[in-house]
Structure 1
Amino acid sequence: MNSRIAVVTGASGGIGAATARRLAAEGFTVVCAARRLDRVTALAHEIGGIAAACDITSDADVAGLAEAAGERVDLLVNNAGGAVGLEPIANADIDAWTTMYATNVLGTGRVTQALLPAVKAAEGTIVFVTSTAADAAYEGGAGYNAAKAGERMLAGALRLELCGEPVRVCEIAPGMVHTEEFSLVRFGGDQAKADAVYDGVAEPLIAEDVADAIAWMATRPSHVNIDRIVIRPRAQAANHKVHRSHPAPGAR
């Protein structure tokens, strides 16, 4: 393949799928990686990419992803992760915390380690998709705050470790993004709770907004490193400060 190679984890929906489509439009051949092979197969067929079944918590799956990606990777987008639950520490589900750490931190670290030689070979770019949850704590967010702050530290440490090498390490921290599944997964399939997150917010971000920013970061001149972008909808001034046309009790 003569085109640039991009690998996007968590590409079965939301920000990951939107990013894969956007990068394909930029001329990348995209390796679409996610646990749901049927979805990434359909996406890869749509955009002329490559489908890879990959659970980032599995060493074997990540080794398979590295093999599918090949010896040169121009862009790695570490997007897989997510949130589970919104309970205060007093009655938090610690197993949910374990899941979030295993995906957002350990899984991201595993993928980064496995693909780093190929990114180095291509003098490429790594983008970590974190969250504004890494910026400040909020009630009920302790487990997710900790996981995303941990992922942010991966990006920061890697940038320092690669200083002087022709590899860029970038981070994008989205705020409120309305996708079909993020909040639904967070609330265990409770559609009412998921809908309440965005209730009264006229224009939350959509996945394509974040994908557009990722593509912009990845296509700057090679000497330009975008350390971090925080991207929010205009209606969200901070994690806890969101303009709504009417109150949404319990939403965050």
Structure 2
Amino acid sequence: MSTRTAVVTGASSGIGAATARKLAEAGFHVVLTARRTDRLDALAAELTQAGRSVSVHALDVTDRAAVDAFATDLGEFPPLHVLVNNAGGAVGTDPVATADPADWRAMYEVNVLGVLNVTQALLPALSASGDGTIVVLSSTAGLATYEGGGGYVAAKHGAHVIAETLRLELNGHPVRIIEIAPGMVKTEEFALTRFRGDAERANAVYAGVAEPLTADDVADTVCWAVTRPSHVNVDLLVLRPRAQASNYKVHRVQ
């Protein structure tokens, strides 16, 4: 495969970092973006040492001016072929009746408006490449509800709808829209952030689950989807560990 360029948001850890590694291994020049430049620099050093082609751009996807400046800096050369909208996250598990609107706003900003910001800014370059792919990392939370997840569920439903609507609006254009919706994924930060640093509560999410998904599992799926022949579009792929039958039915070993 000739060198193709992929932008990965939220590439400083977890699924984003794992996806950046997989795409770099597959021969893409990977543009690493996130807020934490120290982590991006460490990942870039790791990949460069392994002979991969990467570059680093500090980026907060909720800052539209910064996103537009990033798109201008990126330009159209080399052509941009893939955008992986991975930046996101959850905060809190309060019921709707008592949830803090600030938490809901923060989740909406990154999971919905962040996807919108980066997609709008990079869509012209993706289209100009003649073979673009937009990946939206949503969640099974974007397909079904559960108690205590109202704000995150609402935000991920928003991300899901962006992918669905884009696929309709870009029909006939040389851009694919792929949505990957993971279920239970154990990463170093997701649950810890959701429980505001409470490691005991974060660990309890995965208690008794022999093999939750890993960041590498999701990254493998993303890489597989974007490397299908150009005429093949993976509209929506739901990815769960075998132990998870739904958002609220999980087999746990006592």
Q: TM class by shorter-chain length?
A: over 0.9
Note the 1:26-175 alignment, pairs <5 A. Answer: 26-47=26-47, 48-71=53-76, 72-122=79-129, 123-175=131-183
Counterparts of 1:203 and 1:137, CA distance in 2? 23
Instruction: State the one-letter code of the partner of 1:111.
Output: V
- Partner residue of 1:250? none
1:172 Cα deviation from its structure 2 partner: 0.2
Contact 1:12 1:34 in 2 (8 A): yes
SS in 2 for 1:11: coil
Partner Cα distance (1:90, 1:113) in 2: 34
Q: Distance in 1 between matches of 2:159 and 2:20?
A: 21
2:228 is equivalent to residue 232 of structure 1: no
Q: Assess if the C-alpha contact under 8 Å between 1:19 and 1:208 holds in 2.
A: yes
Checking the alignment, whether the CA contact within 8 Å between 1:100 and 1:144 is kept in structure 2 is yes
> What is the DSSP-based 3-state SS (H/G/I as helix, E as strand, rest coil) of the residue aligned with 2:245?
strand
SS of the residue 1:74 aligns to = strand
Mapped partners of 1:118, 1:20: distance in 2? 20
Q: Give the structure-2-normalised TM-score.
A: 0.94
Q: Aligned-pair distance for 1:166?
A: 1.2
Given the two structures, how large is their TM-score scaled by the length of structure 1?
0.95
Large movers: runs of 4+ above 3 Å:
none
Let me know the Cα RMSD of the aligned residues: 1.0
2-side partners of 1:199 and 1:65: how far apart? 41
Contact 1:7–1:30 (CA under 8 A) maintained in structure 2: yes
- Structure 1 spans left out of the alignment, 5+ residues: 247-252
Contact 1:4 1:73 survives alignment (8 Å) = yes
Q: Cα deviations across residues 15-42 of structure 1 (Å, max 9, x unaligned)?
A: 0000000000000010000000111122
1:13 aligns with 2:2: no
2:50 — aligned with what? none
SS of 1:237's partner is: coil
Q: In the alignment, is the contact (CA less than 8 A) between 1:5 and 1:69 conserved in 2?
A: no
Q: Deviations over 1:65-85 (max 9, x none)?
A: 213433121100000011011
Identity %: 61
Structure 2 alignment gaps of length 5 or more? 48-52
Question: Is 2:189 the partner of 1:181?
Answer: yes
- Structure 1 segment 171-210 matched on structure 2, within 5 A: 171-210=179-218
Letter in 2 for 1:175: G
Question: Hey, what's the Cα distance between the residues in 1 that align with 2:181 and 2:119?
Answer: 18
When the two structures are aligned, how many residues end up with a matched partner? Answer: 245
1:71-109 CA-partner distances (Å, limit 9, x unpaired) = 121100000011011111111111000000001001110
CA distance in 1: counterparts of 2:31 and 2:70, whole angstroms = 9
Distance 1:101 1:60, change over 3 A: same
Instruction: Provide the rounded CA distance (Å) in 2 between the counterparts of 1:39 and 1:61.
Output: 19
Letter of the structure 1 residue corresponding to residue 232 of structure 2: V
The 2-side partners of 1:69 and 1:219 are apart by: 22
